Structures are given as structure tokens and as C-alpha cells.
Amino acid sequence: MISAAQNKKITQVGPGTPMGNVLRHYWYPVAATSEMENKYTKKVRLLGEDLVLFRDKSNNLGLVQERCPHRGVSLATGFPDEEGIRCPYHGWCFDNKGNCTDQPNEPETSTFKNRVKINAYEVQELGGLIWGYLGPKPAPLLPKFDGFVAENAIRMIGHATLPVNWVQVMENSLDPAHTEWLHGHFDNFVKEQRGEATSNAFIRHHKKIAFDTFEYGIVKRRLFEGQSEDSDDWKVGHPIVFPYILAVGGTGGEGSYAFQMRIPVDDHTTWHVWYQAYAQEPEVTIPEALKDVPLYEVPYLDENGDYLVDYIDGQDIMCWITQGPIADRTDEKLGTTDKGVILFRQMLNEQINKVERGEDPIGVIRDEAKNQFIELPLEKKKHHYSDGFGVITKRFQTRFSPIVEELIEFYEKEKVKM
Ligand code: FES
Ligand SMILES: [Fe+2]
């Protein structure tokens, strides 16, 4: 339980707020690369700021404030120039540094445009995503975490915009005990209702849970009843990469990566991105059908507005949303299995203090030598995936990927790294 003031402090993301200042030290996905292939603008809301991502005719990307400084039209409705984006209303043009480069109806001798600037932010592409950085300069390096840079990989990206604050979504990742109930007992209840076979993959009791802080955040480990202390689940575990990424091993065994990214849109909204990379040995040829990086929507409500609870991520989403837009932490009763949640909150507060002292928060990378291929600690053999590739891939949000059948067929045929 924390006070209302403390709750506000860790959940506010806007400019000038204590946590907003921390969050502005990290890069965030703002689009999939594929989204910008056939269009020139995308409206983006990130950390409480309304922005537009654009691509100009020279293929430069830009991320600028959405509002045209002339009379407020959305630049997301704009059109590309050779260099920059033009407002559709009176044709003012802005480059990706935020300079106003043209005001067509001002006198030719006017210097007015030199005094008009808009907010502009850095963008970079990596791993099929376009990333933006809104924070203080100089920008840190965009981290090359393993899954984003692994070579010869099949990739796919699911996403959903959820009406919740990002902190409660992250807290779920520090709460391993929920898996045996939500994805075990509750899941089996749902399966029984639907007349489907139940599963033991998630139902095993957690005998022990542990959390260790490391360079990029917190590693979470668990020991299930009947499991040896030598198991990867206990010895290795997987990390919460501060502040907004959960990294888990992909369902394809070694070389497969899955990131759950909880991108704070504003105080009440999170853009959830599920990023999968299935890396293959260099000699394996990836089939044509699996070469593009599709972006697909992950639905979480059915046609009646009820939660879709027949897949793992939908069960999590149900819990996040029913906690309320911002979970009320002034009225909770934390138990022994919530020690990871408490540790995460401590880490949030520590980073607020660090940033207030003028330091970088945890995990900010400024050393190029460190940023080549950052291998995160990741269990190779995960008990949760014991039902096998095809079954488990259909039990997660990956079921909604447009290439899921081809992916399963590829894995079952090649038996790659299973
Ligand atoms: S409102 Fe944008 S150019 Fe006039
Ligand atoms: Fe979960």
C-alpha cells in the first residue's frame, strides 16, 4: 500500500512530472517500420505528448509536435515535401529538426520563418521498429538487445492499445505467482467451459520466487514444485528490462526472443507491443512467407465487449484493465508473493531520485562498446512451454499473427532448435 501522492508520482508520465522525467531517458517504439512503407504520416501519442511521425520524399523520418504552430492544424494530416512535412492548411513546411523551412504566403523578404520552431525529436530504426527519443540531450544509445539485432531471424510484431497506466502492466511481470492461477487454474476453467482439453503447463505451484537486480533492471526466477534447483527457471529466469520491457524466451527454444513492451502513451493508456524474433542458424534458409515483419493487432474483447480469456495474454489484459485505468495502490493488501512488485516500485522511486540529482537512471547506455549485442539473461528451457511449439504458440497472442500457421509449419518441419 502506498499513499495517493506516491501513486501519482510513479504513474504520471507527462512532461515535467518526476516519473515522466525518468521515462524520458529511454527510447520507445513509435511505429513498426512496415507501417511507414506505404504512408507518410502517423499520429503518435507518447508520454502524454501529441506527435506526428513522418517520412518525407527523401525518405527521411521525422518525429515532431502534432500541432502546426501557425493556427493549430494537425500535421498528421500533412503531406511530404522533398525535405520535411507540409501543413495542408497553408503549406508551412517543417524539417525533421523542427525548423520552419517555408511559409509560402509570407512576403519573399520575410524572415518570420526563422523565428518559428516546433518540437522535434530523434528517431532511429532497429529490428523492424521505428524508435523515438523525447528526453534531454545528448540522447543515449538505442539499446541493441539480443532479439532486436539477432541475425537470420523470423520476426513478427503484435500490438494493442490498452486503457491502463503502464505501471500496473509492468507490475504483472514482477508477479510470477499469478501464472499458476490466471494461466493455470482459471485457464483450465475456461477450457472446461469450452469443452477443450485442460493443460498442466502453467498450473504447477511456485515453491520459491526470487528477484535480483542487474545492470538493466530485475531478473525474475521461479522454482516450481517438483522441479530441480538446476532448472533454467530457477537458475537463470528472465528479466524485466527497466523501465518498460519484459523479456522472455520465445516459444522456439534457444535463439528465440520475445519482448513485451509497455509503452506509456499517457497516464491512462499503454501501447502494448509484443515483439517476437526467432533466430535461425546461418545455414537455415527462411522461407519467403516468413521474411517480412508483419504488424498485427491483438484483440482483447469479443463482439459482445467481453474479455477474450482463451489465450494467455488476453487473461493478463483482463486483469490489468479491471484494476482500473490507474490501479488504486492506496487500497491494496500486498502479500508475500508481491515482493517483486515492491522491488519494482522501489526501483521506480530510486530512478526518480537519481534523475533529480542529475544522474542517468538505470540501464541508460552511452558506451558504444557495450552496445553491440546485449545478451539478456534468459532461461533456455522454460517449464511454461512444455506443451510444445505449436500448442503453446497458439496459446499466446502469437495466435493472431498472420504468419502463425507458416511459422508452426516451419518449426515442425525443420525442428529448428527445439
Ligand atoms: S495552420 Fe498550418 S500552415 Fe496554417
Ligand atoms: Fe500473465
Residues of the chain below pLDDT 70: 415-418
Q: Which residues of 322-337 are buried (b: 16+ CB within 10 A; e: fewer)?
A: ebeebbebeeeeeeee
For 163-229, where are the E strands, in sequence order? 206-214, 217-224
Distances (CA, A) of 30 to 43, 81, 128, 352, 367: 9, 21, 11, 24, 24
Q: Pick from 112, 238, 243: which is nearest to 166 by CA?
A: 243
> For residue 183, which ligand has an atom nearest its CA?
2
**pLDDT at site 249:** 82
* Contact (Cβ atoms closer than 8 angstroms) between residue 253 and residue 412: no
> For residue 65, which ligand has an atom nearest its CA?
1
CATH architecture of 146-414: Alpha-Beta Complex (3.90)
For 164-234, where are the E strands, in sequence order? 206-214, 217-224
Query: Which ligand 1 atom minimizes the distance to the CA of 73?
Result: 1
> Who's near 257: CB < 8 A, 6+ residues apart?
146, 147, 150, 247, 249, 250, 275, 276, 277, 278, 279, 378
CA 40 to ligand 1 center in whole angstroms: 18
> Who's near 395: CB < 8 A, 6+ residues apart?
199, 201, 311, 312, 387
Q: Whose CA is nearest to atom 1 of ligand 1?
A: 71
Residues 220 and 241: their CA atoms lie apart, in Å, by 11
CA 86 to ligand 1 center in whole angstroms: 9
Q: Does domain 27-133 have CATH number 2.102.10.10?
A: yes
Domain locations in the chain as residue ranges: 27-133, 146-414
Q: What is the pLDDT of residues 354-399, one digit of tens each?
A: 999 999 999 999 999 999 999 999 998 888 888 889 999 999 999 9
> For residue 76, which ligand has an atom nearest its CA?
1
**SS3 (DSSP) at 187:** helix
Residue 40 class from Cβ within 10 Å (0-12 exposed, 13-18 middle, 19+ buried)? Answer: middle
> For residue 73, which ligand has an atom nearest its CA?
1
Q: What's 310's DSSP letter?
A: S
Q: Which residues of 288-310 are buried (b: 16+ CB within 10 A; e: fewer)?
A: eebeebbbbebebeeeeeeebbb
Query: Which ligand 1 atom minimizes the distance to the CA of 87?
Result: 2
Which residue of 68, 75, 105 sits with most ligand 1 atoms within 8 Å of its CB, as the best mutation to test the pocket?
68
CB-ligand 1 contact for 73 (6 Å cutoff): yes
Residues 251 and 219: their CA atoms lie apart, in Å, by 19
* Contact (Cβ atoms closer than 8 angstroms) between residue 240 and residue 218: yes
Residues 314 and 298: their CA atoms lie apart, in Å, by 9
CB-ligand 1 contact for 8 (6 Å cutoff): no
Residues 189 and 205: their CA atoms lie apart, in Å, by 17
**pLDDT at site 190:** 97
Give the global pTM. 0.97
CB-ligand 1 contact for 113 (6 Å cutoff): no
For 225-316, where are the E strands, in sequence order? 238-241, 245-249, 256-266, 269-279, 295-297
**pLDDT at site 418:** 45
**pLDDT at site 415:** 62
**What is the chain's length?**
418
CA 363 to ligand 2 center in whole angstroms: 24
> What ranges in 118-165 are assigned the alpha helix state H?
146-149
Q: Pick from 308, 291, 246, 301: which is nearest to 273 by CA?
A: 246
Beta bridge partners of 223: 208
Asked if 27-133 and 146-414 have one fold, the answer is no
**pLDDT at site 233:** 93
Number of neighbours of residue 363 by Cβ within 10 angstroms: 19
**pLDDT at site 165:** 99
Which residue of 79, 87, 94 sits with most ligand 1 atoms within 8 Å of its CB, as the best mutation to test the pocket?
87
Distances (CA, A) of 338 to 175, 211, 245: 6, 11, 19
Q: Pick from 208, 255, 260, 203: which is nearest to 233 by CA?
A: 208
Residues 19 and 166: their CA atoms lie apart, in Å, by 12
Q: Pick from 286, 328, 326: which is nearest to 414 by CA?
A: 286
CB-ligand 1 contact for 206 (6 Å cutoff): no
